[in-house]
């Protein structure tokens, strides 16, 4: 459960008094999530999400994230929008942290990942990429390939305590991926979500009802975002890739936005890079999450297995 910061009742009521949301009925810490503290608010007028931004999110970047949500929602993407207080300001401070309320989205994450889910996800991701094109402000990807060596180094060999030989194996894989990574600017790029895992996609009545958690969003290659989703959605038992799910996601994506020949060619290295990126942040978090944090740590080895599968079989699985 990601509730790093409890809020005393009086402090919460004083904070909410700045808004036009009506009287508070309940406020519950939310069980899911890793990065930030989230509460579900129910007031006389609505349900909403109160987020206190923790660790990885830099305060000066929050206007970029909130602006992107507003931009995409205004163009028809189903995603949360920031709620302004009476003074017109959405980004505020609470418990010495930046904080914002965003609108509540109905639906819940898919239980079982089906081909239909992957097709829908591919389409939604492509729409995200196309609709983001009018959002001019850039946010470089702080967790892009340039950060991976530093992340591995900062784990100081701790990978070997999780699995003997992990650190040197990751060093080899990293060298291979970085040496084949597409040159900056060589692939179509724009605003990407960069963390569109199944827990960040809500479904209702078999259709996507919303995308959440924009706090890794950045300006990067569109095909890298697709590579992240292929990793996150297409390995039903962690140890095996499901070619039918991969095909469905690629077909859904291409139905909305065609992949260029350069993107198709780059996909095998992009999926390996995406596996490494989540492996490394999970490894870092495994070592650095305080023991008293109310959060479920995610298994780095799940992405080591994916990396191995892509290294052996990416071309065949992606049919490129
Ligand atoms: N706009 C929203 N509508 C409904 N539920 C939400 C919304 N935003 C977050 N949640 C709930 O909060 C959980 C954690 O949110 P998330 O943004 O993934 O947190 P974190 O950034 O800490 O990983 C989600 O899994 C979901 O249950
Ligand atoms: N999706 C990442 C961790 C970030 O968690 P989220 O709850 O913010 O999506 C992972 O699985 O490693």
ipTM: 0.93
**Minimum-distance ligand to the CA of 298?**
2
Say what the pLDDT of residue 238 is. 82
Confidence of residue 35 (pLDDT cuts 50, 70, 90): confident
**Minimum-distance ligand to the CA of 104?**
1
User: Phi/psi at 192 (nearest 5 deg)?
Assistant: -125, 155
Planar angle of CA 314, 315, 316, nearest 5 degrees: 95
Domains located in the chain, CATH noted: 9-104 (3.30.200.20), 109-318 (3.90.1200.10)
List pLDDT tens digits, range 301-316: 999 999 999 999 999 9
List pLDDT tens digits, range 82-137: 999 999 999 999 999 999 999 999 999 999 999 999 999 999 999 999 999 999 99
What average pLDDT does the segment 247-257 reach? 98
32: Cβ below 6 Å to ligand 1? yes
141: Cβ below 6 Å to ligand 1? no
263: Cβ below 6 Å to ligand 1? no
33: Cβ below 6 Å to ligand 1? yes
List pLDDT tens digits, range 177-188: 999 999 999 999
pLDDT at 290 over 70: no
Give the residue carrying structure tokens 């919460």.
12
**Minimum-distance ligand to the CA of 209?**
1
pLDDT at 2 over 80: no
d(CA 252, CA 116): 9
pLDDT at 143 over 80: yes
Locate all alpha helices (DSSP H) within the chain, ordered by sequence. Answer: 9-16, 62-74, 115-131, 148-154, 159-162, 166-180, 222-233, 243-256, 261-288, 301-318
List pLDDT tens digits, range 153-165: 999 888 898 899 9
Distance 320 CA to ligand 2 centre (A): 28
Q: Which of 37, 48, 49, 101 best tests ligand 1's pocket when mutated (most atoms within 8 Å of CB)? A: 49
d(CA 134, CA 74): 11
Q: Which residues line ligand 2 (CB under 6 A)?
A: 33-35, 195, 197, 199-200, 213, 278, 281-282, 298
Q: Which of 105, 99, 61 lies closest to 80 in space, CA to CA?
A: 105
Q: Are 149 and 261 in contact (CB under 8 A)?
A: no
d(CA 15, CA 9): 10
Distance 73 CA to ligand 1 centre (A): 17
- What is the pTM assigned to this prediction? 0.95
pLDDT at 291 over 80: no
Say what the pLDDT of residue 156 is. 85
The atom number, within ligand 2, closest to the CA of 199 reads 9
Distance 219 CA to ligand 1 centre (A): 22
List pLDDT tens digits, range 186-218: 999 999 999 999 999 999 999 999 999 999 999
**Minimum-distance ligand to the CA of 103?**
1
The atom number, within ligand 1, closest to the CA of 33 reads 23
pLDDT at 21 over 70: yes
36: Cβ below 6 Å to ligand 1? yes
């Amino acid at each position: 459960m990601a509730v790093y910061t409890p809020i005393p009742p009086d402090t919460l009521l004083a904070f909410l008094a700045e808004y036009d949301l009506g009287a508070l009925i309940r406020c519950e810490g939310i069980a899911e999530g890793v990065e930030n503290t989230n509460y579900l608010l129910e007031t006389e007028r609505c349900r909403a999400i109160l987020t206190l931004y923790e660790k990885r999110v830099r305060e000066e970047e929050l206007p970029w994230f909130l602006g992107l949500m507003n931009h995409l929602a205004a163009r028809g993407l189903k995603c949360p929008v920031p709620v302004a207080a009476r003074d017109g300001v959405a980004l505020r401070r609470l418990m010495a942290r930046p904080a914002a309320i965003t609108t509540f989205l109905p639906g819940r994450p898919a239980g079982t990942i089906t081909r239909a889910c992957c097709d829908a996800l591919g389409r939604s991701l492509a729409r995200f990429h196309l609709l983001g094109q009018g959002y001019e402000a850039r946010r470089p990807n702080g967790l892009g390939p340039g950060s991976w060596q530093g992340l591995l180094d900062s784990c100081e060999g701790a990978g070997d305590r999780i699995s003997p030989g992990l650190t040197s194996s990751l060093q080899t894989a990293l060298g291979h991926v970085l040496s084949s990574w597409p040159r900056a600017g060589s692939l179509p790029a724009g605003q990407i979500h960069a963390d569109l895992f199944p827990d960040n996609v809500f479904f209702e009545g078999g259709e996507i009802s919303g995308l959440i958690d924009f706090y890794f969003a950045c300006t990067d290659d569109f095909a890298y975002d697709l590579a992240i989703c292929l990793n996150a959605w297409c390995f039903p038992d962690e140890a095996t890739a499901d070619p039918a799910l991969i095909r469905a996601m690629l077909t859904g994506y291409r139905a909305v936005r065609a992949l260029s020949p350069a993107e198709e060619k780059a996909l095998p290295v992009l999926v390996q890079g995406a596996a490494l990126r989540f492996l490394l942040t999970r490894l870092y978090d495994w070592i650095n999450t305080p023991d008293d944090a109310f959060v479920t740590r995610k298994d780095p080895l799940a992405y080591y297995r994916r990396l191995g599968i892509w290294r052996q079989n990416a071309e065949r699985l992606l049919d490129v």
